[in-house]
Structure 1
Amino acid sequence: MKRNIIPIFIPHLGCPHDCVFCNQNKIASTSIATKETVKNTIDEYLDYFRKDSIVEVAFYGGSFTAIPIEDQINFLSVANEYKKKNLVSFIRLSTRPDYIDENILEILKSNGVDTVELGVQSSNQNVLNKSGRGHDFNCVKKSVNLLKEYGFDVGLQQMVGLPESNDDLEVKTALDFINLKPDFVRIYPTLVVKDTELENKYNKSEYNALSLTEAVNICAELLSLYNKNNIPVIRIGLQPTDEINYDGSVVAGPFHPAFRQLVETKILIDSIIDYLKNIEIKHLLIEASGRNISMISGQNKSGSNMLIESLNLDSLKFKQIKDIDEIILNDEDNAFKIVI
C-alpha cells in the first residue's frame, strides 16, 4: 500500500560542506524548523489524509545527523509521539554518510526512525572531490553496514552529470550501490542552481551540464540496471517547485517536470525496437495496460514517433487491456510478446 508522506524540511543546518551543486535555500525551504512547526505540519497532513492511510514522516533538506544532538532529539521526539499513537507508521530522514556512528544510530533508533537515506552521489573519489563532498566511498560502505546492523532501511542517492563524471563512472557507481544492497535508490540529474559554485563554473565554461537527452539515456541505463537487481528506484529527477524550474532557480541542466516518464519511455521503446529490429513489420498493434501505453507513447508522442521511424512502420495503433502486465506486439497474423 502506498505511503502518504509528511515532508518536514530542515534547511541547511549543520552541514559542514558546501557542495558545488548545492543551495539548500533554493532546493528546500528557508524557514527555520521548530518542534512547534513539526507538530503543526504533521497535524495539517493528518487532517488531510484518510484515517486508514499509511503515513510516513520524512525529514528532508540539509544533513539531519549533522545538526546538534538536542535538535535531532527535539524534532524526532515530536514525530515519534505520533508513531506511538499509531497515527504515523514510519519515520525517515536523509543525511551525509560521514555523520553516521553508533551514538547517532542509538539516538535515531530510540526515537522511532525506520529509514535513513544517505546522500552519496558517486562512488568515484575524483568526482566526490570535484563536487566538494568531503568524504570517500569507504565511509559510505561503513555507514551502510552500520545502518544495516542496527536494523534501519537504507536508501542511497545517486547524482548523474557531476563535475568530472561520465557515463562509465555513473554505471560504476550504480554497480557499487548494488553491491551494498540498499533497500531503495533515488537518481538525480545534476542541475545548475543559482548562487552555487557550480553556477560559477558553468558561467566560466568550466562545467558542461548534461543535455536532457544525455540525462535520459544514462538514467534509463541505470534504472534498467537497478531493476534487474531488484532494487527499487523510488524517484528519478527533482520534484518541480516554484524554485526548481527554469522560471525559478535552475540555470541549466536536464530539468523536466516528467523526467521519470521520459526515462521509462526510453527503456520501453528500446526494448520494443530490440525485439523487432530483425522482423519485417509494417502495421504494428500494441496491446497493453493504459499505463504502459502512456509510457510507450511518451511525451508529445515522442515514443510513438521513435518507433515509427526506427522500425519504418506504415502504421502504429494501441489497444488498451485492463489488468495486464505484458506488452503484446501484433502484426496481422503474427503475434509477439514482451514481458515487462
Structure 2
Amino acid sequence: MKHYNIPVFISHFGCPNSCVFCNQKKINGRETDVSLEDLKNIIDSYLETLPKNSIKQVAFFGGTFTGISMSLQKDYLEVVKKYIDAGEIQGIRLSTRPDCISDEILKQLKKYGVQTIELGIQSLDSKVLSATDRKYDEGVVENSCKLIKKYEFELGIQLMIGLPCSDLKSDYETAKKCLELKPDIARIYPTLVISGTELQKMYLRREYNALDINEAIFRTKKIYALLETNGINIIRVGLQPSEDLTAEGVILAGPFHPAFRDLVENEIYRDFLFEIIKKEKKLDIEVNEKNISRIVGQKKKNKKEFSPYFNLKINNDLDKYKIKVNGKLYERSDILKRELKE
C-alpha cells in the first residue's frame, strides 16, 4: 500500500538556538505560524486528493516541534488524533532537535499517535557542532535516541555534509557513529548557504567555503553506501526543490540539485563499472529496465564515458537492484560495498 505524507511546515519562532544554517525568524509573542484552523484545512485539502486506499501520515516539518510548549503540542496533536480515530489518517511523524526530547514529551507524543521521530543530528563532530552553534554534544544525541527507541517510535536521523569545520573524514565518522544509535531511517542533506542565515555572513566574509556539486557527491556516496548496507532506509538525499527554496536569491551557494540522489546513485554505479572495465576491458550489461537510469547516468554521462565498451541489454527477469556484467551477476550490496573500501 502506498504511503503519503501530509506536510505541515511549522516554524518555531521560540527556538532558543540560532544554528548558522537556519533562517527561521524570531517573532516576539508568537511560538509558531500555523493555527489549529490552518492545520485542519491543510489535512482536509490533502484528504480530498489522496487515494483512499493508502497509508497517510501528518508530517510536522520545518521547525522544532517538541521545542514548542507542551500545551501547544497537545493542541496540534489533538486535531490530528480526531482524523486518526476516524481512520482517515494512520499516524503522525515529526522532526525535532536532539536536545528537545524527554520522557514527558515522548509520553504525550505516544498518546496521540506519533509513530516516527526524526532528529536533526547534522553532525557528531564536536568542532562542527561548535562551529554551527548547535549547543549540544554527542551524549545528548545518544540519550535522546535511546529514549525514542525505548518508547518504540521509529527513529529517523538527519545528517548534513559540508558544514563549517567539517571534512570528508568528519562527515563519514559521524555516519559511522550513527550506526550505534540504531536508526530506522535517514536523510542526508548537503549544506546550502541560505539567504538570511549566519552562514550567509560567514560565506560573504570568506570564513566558509561551500561544497561544489562534485565534492558533495563524493562525500555523500560513501555515507549513503554505509547506511544502506547497514539496513537503514534512506528516505531522502538532498533538499526537496520547493518553491520557497528555488525562488531567486534564496540559495546563495552550495551543491543544490533537484535530483541530487540520482547523481549520487549514478556515481556509485560509475565507480562499480569502472573497476570492471579496468580488469576486463568490456561492459556487456544486463539490467531491469527500472535500473537503467542509474547505470546510464544523467545525460548518459556513464554511457558516454565508457563508450565504445558499453553494451546495454534490458532483462526484466532480473531484480530491480541486480545487474549482470560480462555474464556475472552482482547484488546491490556488491555495488555499495565497493564504496566502503579504504
Question: Is the pair's TM-score, using the shorter chain for normalization, greater than 0.5?
Answer: yes
| % identical equivalent positions | 43
Contact preservation (8 Å) 1:14, 1:63:
no
How many pairs align?
Answer: 324
TM-score by length of 2: 0.91
Q: Does 1:336 pair with 2:337?
A: no
Q: Does 1:317 pair with 2:311?
A: yes
- Cα drift, residue 23 of structure 1: 1.2
Contact preservation (8 Å) 1:13, 1:63:
no
Q: Which runs of 5+ in 2 are unaligned?
A: 26-31, 333-342
Q: Distance in 2 between matches of 1:299 and 1:276?
A: 20
Match of 2:11 in 1: 11
- Cα drift, residue 323 of structure 1: 4.9
- Cα drift, residue 303 of structure 1: 2.2
The AA in structure 1 aligned to 2:285 is: I
Q: Distance in 2 between matches of 1:338 and 1:276?
A: 15
Q: Distance in 2 between matches of 1:170 and 1:71?
A: 35
Q: Deviations over 1:119-158 (max 9, x none)?
A: 1100111100100111111000000001111111110110
Contact preservation (8 Å) 1:66, 1:99:
yes
Q: Does 1:20 pair with 2:20?
A: yes
Q: Does 1:167 pair with 2:168?
A: yes
Q: Which runs of 5+ in 1 are unaligned?
A: 26-30
Contact preservation (8 Å) 1:186, 1:235:
yes
Q: Deviations over 1:2-58 (max 9, x none)?
A: 311100110133321111011146xxxxx8211111111111111101111110110
Match of 1:156 in 2: 157
Aligned ranges 1:162-201 → 2 under 5 Å = 162-201=163-202
The AA in structure 1 aligned to 2:102 is: D
Q: Does 1:327 pair with 2:326?
A: no
TM-score by length of 1: 0.92
Match of 2:339 in 1: none
Higher mean alpha-carbon deviation, 63-72 vs 318-327, is at 318-327
Contact preservation (8 Å) 2:287, 2:323:
yes
Q: Distance in 2 between matches of 1:5 and 1:248?
A: 28
Q: Distance in 2 between matches of 1:245 and 1:195?
A: 15
Q: Distance in 2 between matches of 1:145 and 1:154?
A: 10
The AA in structure 2 aligned to 1:303 is: N
- Cα drift, residue 278 of structure 1: 1.2
- Cα drift, residue 336 of structure 1: 2.7
Aligned ranges 1:167-246 → 2 under 5 Å = 167-245=168-246
Q: Distance in 1 between matches of 2:248 and 2:123?
A: 29
Match of 1:51 in 2: 52
Contact preservation (8 Å) 1:14, 1:62:
no
Contact preservation (8 Å) 2:6, 2:58:
yes
Match of 1:144 in 2: 145
Match of 2:248 in 1: 247
Q: Distance in 2 between matches of 1:204 and 1:323?
A: 56
- Cα drift, residue 248 of structure 1: 4.2
Q: Distance in 2 between matches of 1:16 and 1:323?
A: 55
- Cα drift, residue 320 of structure 1: 2.1
3-state SS, counterpart of residue 189 of structure 2: strand
Displaced runs of 4 or more, over 6 A: none
